[in-house]
Amino acid sequence: MPAQLAYVIITPYSLLKSRTGGIIARLIARSGLELVGARMFAPSLELAQEHAALIGPGHSPEENRVQELIRQYVRRHLAPDPHTQRRRRVMVLLFQGEDATGRLRAVIGNVSAHQTRGDTIRGTYGDLITDENDVVQYFEPAVLYPPTPQEAERKLRLWARYSDTDGGVLENVISYGPGEVPERTLVLLKPDNFRFPSGRPGNMIDLFSRTGLFIVAIKVHRMSTAEAVEFYEPVRELLRTKFKEAVAARAKAALEKELGFGVPEAQARQLGELLGPLFGENQFESIVRFMSGRSPAECAPAARSQPGSEKCIALVYEGANAVSKIRDVLGPTDPTKAPPGSIRREFGSNIMVNAAHASDSVESARREMAIINLADNNFRRTIEECYGP
């Protein structure tokens, strides 16, 4: 069976209640599908109404009832708030693989008033509450997904069409109190989280939710070699200077063992001055290779701007003191020095393979977001590559 493309829409309520990470963890780990795209949307009334119109009938009276509830939900809760006209946030994820719609259905489950178990996403995060007369009192589906490949294509073409006007880096979707000054910061979930399907990316997003910040942009990104060089350029000179003493000590010990005589400290320091920058440059090349799949030395100049082989997820968080809040949850660069409960302590391996990156200032966030170019619409390109323009 050929690979299919399918979507999952995380609803405004699920986003607001910080259920995003738990949902993503289950989707990736349990479906075995590849996450190939993601984009934040603030749907217009037109997009919500057109999506609702594309929701097909069910195969039984109970399914028809649920489908009608979903139509009403989309019209009411994905559209802008009728009182404030403020648009609501939704996250759209693209998954690809064999029988993508069927595998998502198995993980997400159905909505039922008789649901008693939390073995599916809707069983855990969704609700359908009825009264003694079987009249619906409350309905929350948690996520939306297509029941068939044909419906997936119709709806994905629709969301692709609105992806520039209604999607990208969202503006004016969060209401703040008097005196609150929001910041934006960038988080990168690094390539070590995508070696195989696991809950790691979602589990980290779940930990970041402790900050109370709001996700206003998301992108599945394959960093080019040129982007990785530009992104990490500020640490390049630091790497060239920080290892001089360590390299001097290692060179002194190696030479004394090999040659059988002592190396004076003055000469050892000279070795550090000579070899330290070379070692630092080697470390920089390793960082670029880790993030993009190719170091500058391994990449022909003409190919340096091409997307790399390694995948990461870029997220923009918004809110008061966003930079410091995210970095507190992330923990220090070295996972062995990170406090218990921090992301790098839980998921990091060493100074380079340390799970995630977060901007260290508002200015750095602006620079890094420009390099990653979160407004770039690779969401639409992924859909068009599958179905055609």
The answer to whether residues 142 and 276 belong to one domain is: no
The answer to whether residues 252 and 333 belong to one domain is: no
The answer to whether residues 25 and 128 belong to one domain is: yes
Boundary residue ending a domain (303, 337, 367)? 303
> Does position 134 have pLDDT exceeding 90, yes or no?
no
> Does position 1 have pLDDT exceeding 60, yes or no?
no
The answer to whether residues 197 and 249 belong to one domain is: no
pLDDT band at 113, cuts 50/70/90? low
The answer to whether residues 35 and 160 belong to one domain is: yes
- Identify which of 355, 373, 311, 384 has the alpha carbon closest to the alpha carbon of residue 153: 384
The answer to whether residues 151 and 298 belong to one domain is: no
The answer to whether residues 49 and 15 belong to one domain is: yes
Boundary residue ending a domain (270, 303, 336)? 303
The answer to whether residues 248 and 360 belong to one domain is: no
Boundary residue ending a domain (274, 303, 332)? 303
Can you give the residue range of the structural domain that contains 146? 3-223+311-387
How far from 243 is each of 126, 201, 221, 233, 303, CA to CA, in Å?
Answer: 53, 32, 31, 17, 31
> Residue 239's pLDDT is what?
85
Q: Long-range contacts for 47-51 (Cβ within 8 Å, ≥24 apart)? A: 47/78, 47/158, 47/159, 47/162, 47/166, 48/74, 48/75, 48/78, 48/79, 49/75, 49/79, 50/158, 51/78, 51/155, 51/158, 51/159
Region 283-301 average pLDDT: 92
> Residue 108's pLDDT is what?
96
Region 253-280 average pLDDT: 87
CATH number of the domain within which 182 lies: 3.30.70.141
Please tell me the distance from the alpha carbon of residue 255 to that of residue 266, in angstroms, as a whole number. 14
The answer to whether residues 217 and 241 belong to one domain is: no
What pLDDT digit, counting tens, does each position of 296-312 carry?
989 888 999 999 999 99
Q: Tokens representing 337?
A: 């020095």
> Residue 89's pLDDT is what?
98
The answer to whether residues 156 and 260 belong to one domain is: no
Give the distance from CA 373 to its chain's centroid: 14
> Residue 97's pLDDT is what?
96
The answer to whether residues 318 and 260 belong to one domain is: no
The answer to whether residues 124 and 156 belong to one domain is: yes
Please tell me the distance from the alpha carbon of residue 351 to that of residue 247, in angstroms, as a whole number. 17
Contact predicate 302/309, CB 8 Å: no
Region 70-95 average pLDDT: 96
pTM: 0.92
Q: How many domains does the chain have?
A: 2
